[in-house]
Structure 1
Amino acid sequence: MTATPSDPNQISSSHQESQKNGLVQVDTGINQSKGGQAWFWSGLWLLLLAASSALGIWAVAFITRLPPLPDCDRISAFSADSERLYCAKQAAVLGAERDLVAGVQLIASWDKTHPLYQEIEDVTHRWSKGLFKLAQQRMQAGNLERAIELIDYIPPRADVYEDAQTALERWRQEWATGADITTSVMQAVGNENWSGARKELRAIKRLTSDYWLNDRHVYLGRYIQAEEDARRTLIKAQALASTSSMDQLAEALALVRQLDVNTYTWPDAKPLVADWSRTLLKYGFQKWEQEDLDGAIAIIQQVPMDLATEPEAKDLVQFAHAQRLATFNQDWAPSYGEILNLMDAIQAIQNIDSESLFYQEAQTKLALWTNQLSDLQTLYSATLMARFNQRSSLRIAIKHAQLIKADRPQRQQAQTLIAHWSKEIQRIEDRPVLIWAQQLADKGDKASLQAAIATAKKVETGRALRIEAQTKIAQWSKQIQVLEDQPLYSKALELASQSKLQDAILEARKIQPGRALYGQAQASIKDWTSRIQIAEDRPILIEAEELAYQGRLSDAIAVAAQIAPGRALYGEARNSIAIWDAERAYIQSLQPPVDDSYYDEDDYYDEDDE
């Protein structure tokens, strides 16, 4: 419950206080309104200041930034010179010929009035040097025309212009000299003056470019040698053809057909080829008339097919060349090339007309070759299957080859392949046995070696790996013998190291002949026996040497002769005896002869005394 004031003064004072409070509130609202306006204008000015600063910074960046680089992929003749120059510089960095030429062509027409003239001075000299270097390379490679073109691109204001023009004149003179030398060489070759041609060729060494010193010099040297060889071949062929032997005439024709048609010799050889071919054709007909068809074919095969003009000659030549195509290796697996050759031979022999003199023989060959072709195709498919080198594929190959019966022309070839593939199957079957035996033998002990031998013996006689198995068995048997006899031999060596040589010999002799260590034991026995004999005979030889030193040569010889033949020091003793015997003979030769009259006088005096 609220109390109500009853005093008028109290009411009045309350009213005054309320008026004061109202005034205070009005003043506070006015002050707040003025403060908000001040903050608004301050923020606005700050915003304008920030915007103007950003605009200024952007303007400075826009003014000072570098312009974009030209896109050289889109450059054209209508582009600005500065852009074209920039792209030319970029392209010429690697020094490529096309780029250097394009760059020089671009700036060649720019004179001193061009705004970029100062900028291009350095690149003009640099690019011109590059062109000069490329021109030198083209000249050294023998392409003088391109070298001249590159020199012509160099502008007169370039530093190397004068040097380039001087070099170009020197190159032209060298080419003219080289051309003259080449002409002289060819004229000498045409006159068959080989020494003169080589003398003219030596003049090319006076030139300076690699093209003339190396390439042309080697080419002309080979050209002279080829022409000389061709002429000598023709002379040799003419000598062969001058005999009455048809075999030598065929050899002469074969020689001449090897000649290069571009040589000076070929025009002289060409009519001889035609003449000799006609002679061989005539001789071939004679062979055929004598019913020696094989001999006729062997002769006619030397004649080129295009030189047979008569119908009979054409048929005989075609027959002969078909026979050559149908010749193949019948001892081993057929090749795809042999099958193609046989097919070509069949096609060639089918072209011989039924009215031809050789028709019957052609039909006989046709029947044979047709059967051979069928057999070869069968064997070829079998060979392809056998290449997988598996038991199943090899058995399939054998079944295919067995389709060729005994009356077929390739029966022997089929049997050879069947035998080979059968051996391959045996190898595949027996190889694991030998591998297991080898693994056992690798352990090295006696029991394992014996087990390896027993395993290898499972490879039966007649099998493909039988020899290999027997070789391994022999090897492992020797290893067992070594294991068994090594203790004996080791004991003998130990006794020998203790100077008990006699005992060592007795121990080593326990190793029987035929054993693996027998040879080694015998070598040691021989060595130990020699050492024993040396120990026994050395004092005898020393005694003999002492007697010889004392001048008692006869006694020395007698003592040294006590060393019997076959003893270790026998050779040394015989050498010493020979030396001492020679010395004794020499001493005796120096003594004066005995005078018999002296003894007669003594006898005379003796008689008087009596």
Structure 2
Amino acid sequence: MNEKYKTIDSWRTLRQMKQKDQTKLQLPERRKSREERLQQLRTNGSQIHKYKRPAKPSTLQKHSVSQIEKAKQKSLKSANNTWPIKWLFWIALLVIVPAGAGITAISALFKLPSQADCEASYWPTASASKRLYCAQILATSPTVDSLLQAINLVDVLSNDHPMRPNIDGNIEQWSEKILSLGELAFQDGKLEEAIKIAQKVPQKVSAYPLVKEQIQNWQKTWTKAETTYKKAQEHLRQEEWNQASMEASRLLSVPNVHWETKKYQELINDIKRTRKEGSKLNQAREIGEQGGLDNLTNAVKKAQAIGKNSYLYQTAQKLILNLGEQIADMALVELNEGNWQEALKIVNKVPENDVLEEKVKDIELLARAHSPANLGTIAGLEDAIAQAQKLKTERPLYSKAQQLISIWQQEIADVKIIEEGKKLAQPGGISDLKAAIAKLQTVPPYNPRGQDATTLIGAWSRQLQQQEDRPYLEKAEKLASFGDISSIQAAIDEASQIGRGRTLYEEAQQKIQRWTQTVQRYQDRPILDNAERLASLGNLEQAILTAQQIQQGRVLYSQASSKIRQWQSQKEAKENLENARQAAALGTADGYAQAIILAQKVPTYSSRQFEASQLINQWGQKILSIAMDEVNRNVPLAIEIASKIPVSSVAYNSAQSQIRVWQTWLNTTTPEYQSPTPKSQSTTPEAVEYQTIPIPQEQSQQLREEN
């Protein structure tokens, strides 16, 4: 009954389908474009051969008619007999009924049923011809179920049935159509559906051995395409754009419309999109590499723009994780330095990530625990320890929490010692301060409160040293007040007992230096006074030797050095003036010029400077007189002599005036004619003579008076 209802439903479906041209489905013989192939496959999948109704069995009908005519002839002949009419009736009835039944059976056997008959047929009693006809009607529908129903409808007939060859031929055709529908599904990208369709081909058909081979080809093609596609995807994940494009181009050679069209285009679009996302990811990397909180947070924002559907999503997430770890590490650095508020500010910028979630929470907890710990009280430290103890062994910062707990516990112990030390030092006596210092020295410098303990020890030590060393300094001052050398020296010795590094050491050294200078003055003043006395007597050499007895570093050394330089200058000035007088004693212009040069070496601060100036003026006048005498004989030579008078001489201005006048004479006087010198004779400096110009007697006398 189920088979009947299923078949009836198929008939109703077929009746609703209006197909005009139905041809046998064929696979493409040559490779066409992707669009043409897909369209052709879809078109061919819906084409099925029209089924021609077989001719009516007219021979059987004729045979049945002839039998009926024979029966009629027999009945006519019997009517002429003498038999009674009733016997004739029964005889005719016996002949006609079997003959009619046979004719009806034969007619029913060869008569083709209508489509409505196929829908209402009871198949267990249906004839073979009806089954074949209805199966052909079912096969006109291009669906796998219709073709399988058609095969099942006729395949129930025995192998020795007269219509078996015709049935087997139809089954072969329908099986090929099923395999073609599988190919269409394969080309449309439905591999599993194609395999299921192909596996429905009856095993006894001749084309069945091709089914397994076809399925293997499909799977091989599909596997190759999938491998290529996955390689391209992996290249995209690795940001290898060129390799991904090369793999995508290989899909164009895959003999499958789905892969070489739809999947190829999908991959090309993915490459374009992923390449843009890769550019954003590179920007995020570059910004993150610059370091700093702002750059790291900006890099995170850019990386977060990569969506979950992107091939670079995992890469972006790894980058975000790395950037987040850097931000978290920055927060840890601030936390380790005690900047818990800054640590909280930084850790809030760590991106949301399952890997970093626990670490971020731990940093926040420990940062908040620092708040009461920074109060420095025992209660605050105990509160901080209680918060840190919330981190269990499986937490990321458990070891850090244990480290802080240990530090804070040690800090509690240090606080207790410091409080005890403060109580001991409160009276302020020497023994009290020593006891307090000894107490705090039990706190190592590297302990949490080691710096506080060291600071207090330093303050108490200074206070203690002042109390210990002040008596030495007071005694030294009392000794120095006597003013004599022995008392001052005793004061120096007393103050020297205050060692380096002590609180009053600098003060003691200042007093020692002042007292030492006083002693040195007492010792060196007689030496310097003696040197000055010798210098006043003109014994500069001995004065210098005496002053040099005062050594460098002593209080009067700078004064003695100044005196020595002064006396050395006076000595040199004296020597220069003596040498100048010797040069001037020659009475020549060159001698006077040399004398002036030596006299000019006398320093301006020297006591011999006035004497040197007078001599320079005197010798300048001498040079000018010599020039005036020479001008009557040789004007150029007179100009040369007058030019030797220095600016510092009072005769300088007069000499310059005369030089200008004499130069005017040289420019306005015509030189006497001289015979040309032969070229063969060379002119030597010794042969050159100045040209003499006669000067009127009254003009020469006037010049002398002016000078």
Tell me which interval the TM-score lies in, with the shorter structure as reference length. 0.3 to 0.5
Q: TM-score, normalised by structure 1?
A: 0.40
Structure number with greater CO (CA < 8 Å, separation at least 6) is: 2
Larger radius of gyration: 2
Q: TM-score, normalised by structure 2?
A: 0.35
